[in-house]
Structure 1
Amino acid sequence: MQEQLTPDFGDYELLDTGDFEKLERFGRYVTRRPEPQAIWRRSLAEEEWRRTADASFRRDARSDERGEWRLAPGMPDRWVVEYAYKRMRLRMRLGLTSFKHVGIFPEQAANWNFIYDNCRALAGDGPADGERVAAVGSGVARGGAPKVLNLFAYTGGATLAARAAGAEVTHVDSVRQVVTWSRENMELSGLEGVRWIVEDALKFVRREVRRGSLYRGIILDPPAYGRGADGERWILEDNIGEMLECCAQLLEPRGAFLVLNLYSMGLSSTLARTAVRQAFGAPREEQWGELCFTDRAGKQLPLGTYYRFTR
């Protein structure tokens, strides 16, 4: 089923978009950042953007990637936001990075909900709050916990959602500082017990295939381009095929779920669906589309594509 998803995230609001920028509220603070997909005009005047923003990102003229933040008086470089869904309560530390990111992608909360619900079902708790959940399986880790693998895991929103639902989570990212950030988010959320791996994701899954490892859930959030812990090159179009083939060998054939996110402009959810179905076969239930937020003027901004299934 094709569907656009917008999560209910109380500590996040998209205030305005346009002229290749977005104005966002994270908790108490408002940021102004570049947004290549905001091709329309802004609804608010420039003076309003300047007055509202607590932190504004400006790209370095010598780099398409890096830049610096200009801070209003009283704006901290770190703060905490909260996200709640059913019995899940997450707390995540945000920070202003030189790559314009702040530590979370709030649109991914729609996938956190999906992960939480399916992990609870796999753990044997049944549908959360009376809702039907598709993925139900009997193959679990010690203590009845489903094993979940989060690849390109960044600061761990999906990891926390799975762990909050009782899953045994392996969190893989190639950047040690980001893994440390994820551990901090785990502790802020009152959780423990995540398995942390600092390694190139493709190298890790190749080794897991050789070991014969199996998981009940796999989460894939690959960048368009990246570097592994030892300098390995990741190029999405070149490497996603092998990554999906490896993950197909790691995912249990029944009672399991997969989540794939794509952020590269020009790659649609239909492409993601086709690639996943070639590697994994036809699932029992599937969903694909865009992750979106709508600003106060009603302009809907797509912030990535997703494909997910249960079987």
Structure 2
Amino acid sequence: MQIVSPVSRTDYRLEDCGDGEKLERFGPYLTIRPEPNATWARSEPLEKWIQRAHLYYQAGKGQGVPGREDSGTWKKLKNVPRVWNIQYKDLFTLQVGPTAYKHVGVFPEQACNWDFIYDKTEQVKKQLTKTGGNASDAVPWVLNLFAYTGAASLAAKAAGAEVVHLDAVRQVITWSRKNMELSGMTGIRWAVEDALTFVEREVRRGNKYHGIVLDPPTYGYGPKGERWKLEEGIHALLEGCSRILEKESAFLVLNLYTPGYTATKAGHLIKEFFPGKGKLTMGQPSLEDAYGKRLSLGAFARLEL
């Protein structure tokens, strides 16, 4: 199993973490946010964090309660714009800013997967080009499910893919579109839809993809009230994905943040629906702070065909 940290994050840095919180720099602005995985002591005292930070998300009474984990409020410590932009390498631009929850519009630990998606998309495109045929046949198609604000979609698009970006929240799609425009890109296809419903329809239509990215939440609702619970829906979703992923020159990335779903379990899920196929890699995305403490966040499994 791999413990993977992003190689390049010039507009982001984990400054410090501990005592259930993390101090992060997004471009020129610093935030303090809850982090349950930071179970050790912080390296700098909280007072110094507060002196440095621009925004402090203070958890409410619902912290740790199922369905209310993100309850709390942002406290402005210094002047800071409502939103601002950060750059990822020379690939794309992301708009960030405090949301109604503790999130800011990006999960920096996922940069290791953005790199993987970019590299694999480029590789698939070269493989398709070698097979000949029409120029349109050499363009990989990538499906991003539970796509949030679209960093993975932008990574695939930057590498030359046709991208279908799906999320159940219309406001998030609007944010994703803004990120595409800030990055100087066009042509991403947007879908405000329930992920399982969409995949089942693609199966019936016979559509295929060279790349599929899944980042399913523990629970949630589709735009028409469709109920999603990971332990109940993940098997049907992966079964559908196994039927719409190309048999070769293809890849799949499964991200999981749900407690109890380890990298090993993510790998077992992939093996169940893609038995004996391709190269399987399992691991944990992580971030290293300025003091050398490593913060692991979630789990992933990657399949390469």
TM-score range for the pair, normalised by the shorter chain length: over 0.9
Of 263, 278, 301, the residue aligned with 1:307 is: 301
Distance 1:13 1:117 in 2: 23
Q: Which residue of 2 aligns with 1:79?
A: 84
CA displacement, residues 92-137 of structure 1 (integer Å, 9 cap, x when unaligned): 00020111000000111111111111111222289xxxxxxxxx98
d(CA) in 1 for partners of 2:122, 2:134: 12
Q: Paired residue for 2:56?
A: 56
The one-character-per-residue Cα deviations of 1:42-78 (angstroms, maximum 9, x if unpaired) are: 1111211110111000123355322211112311120
- Distance in 2 separating the partners of 1:139 and 1:94: 41
> 1:192-203 alignment to 2 at 5 Å?
192-203=186-197
User: What 5-or-longer segments of structure 1 have no aligned partner?
Assistant: 127-135
Query: How many residues are matched?
Result: 298
How far apart, CA to CA, are the structure 1 residues paired with 2:169 and 2:146?
A: 9
Gap change, CA 1:195 and 1:283, over 3 Å in 2: same
Structure 2 segments unaligned to the other structure (5+ residues):
63-67
Partner of 2:247: 253
Match of 2:165 in 1: 171
Structure 2 counterpart of 1:147, from 141, 148, 151: 141
CA contact (8 A) 1:123 1:140 kept: no
CA deviations over 1:229-259 (Å, ceiling 9, x no partner): 1111111111111110000001011110000
Report the Cα offset of residue 265 of structure 1.
Answer: 2.1
How far 1:140 sits from its partner (Å)? 9.2
Cα distance in 2 between the residues matched to 1:139 and 1:51: 60
- 1:279 alignment counterpart: 273
Q: 1:141 to 1:95 in 2, by over 3 A?
A: farther
Partner SS, residue 270 of structure 1: helix
Which residue of 121, 124, 132 maps to 2:123? Answer: 121
In the TM superposition, what is the alpha-carbon distance from 1:5 to its structure 2 partner?
Answer: 0.8
| Cα separation, 2, equivalents of 1:147 and 1:138 | 17
Question: Is the 1:122–1:137 Cα contact (8 Å) retained in structure 2?
Answer: no
- SS of the counterpart of 2:3? coil
1:99 is the counterpart of 2:98: no
Letter in 1 for 2:93: R
Distance 1:137 1:291 in 2: 34
2:297 match: secondary structure: strand
CA distance in 2, matches of 1:167, 1:95: 28
Bigger Cα displacement from structure 2, 289-298 vs 191-200 = 289-298
Normalised TM-score (structure 2)? 0.93
| Contact 1:137-1:254 within 8 A present in 2 as well | no
TM-score, normalization: structure 1? Answer: 0.92
In structure 2, the partner of 1:206 is 200
Q: Structure 1 140/215 Cα, relative in aligned 2: closer, same or farther at 3 Å?
A: farther
CA RMSD of aligned residues (A): 1.8
Counterpart of 2:65 in structure 1 is: none
Give yes or no for contact 1:141–1:168 (8 Å, CA) kept in 2.
no
Q: CA deviation at 1:138?
A: 7.5
Measured after TM superposition, the shift of residue 283 of structure 1 is: 2.9
Whole-Å separation in 1 of the counterparts to 2:53 and 2:96: 16
Structure 2: distance between partners of 1:174 and 1:224: 14
Name the residue aligned to 2:233: 239
For 1:182 and 1:140, the matched residues in 2 are separated by 30
- 1:142-167 C-alpha deviation (Å, 9 max, x unpaired): 35211110000000000000001110
Counterpart position of 1:133: none
Report % sequence identity: 49
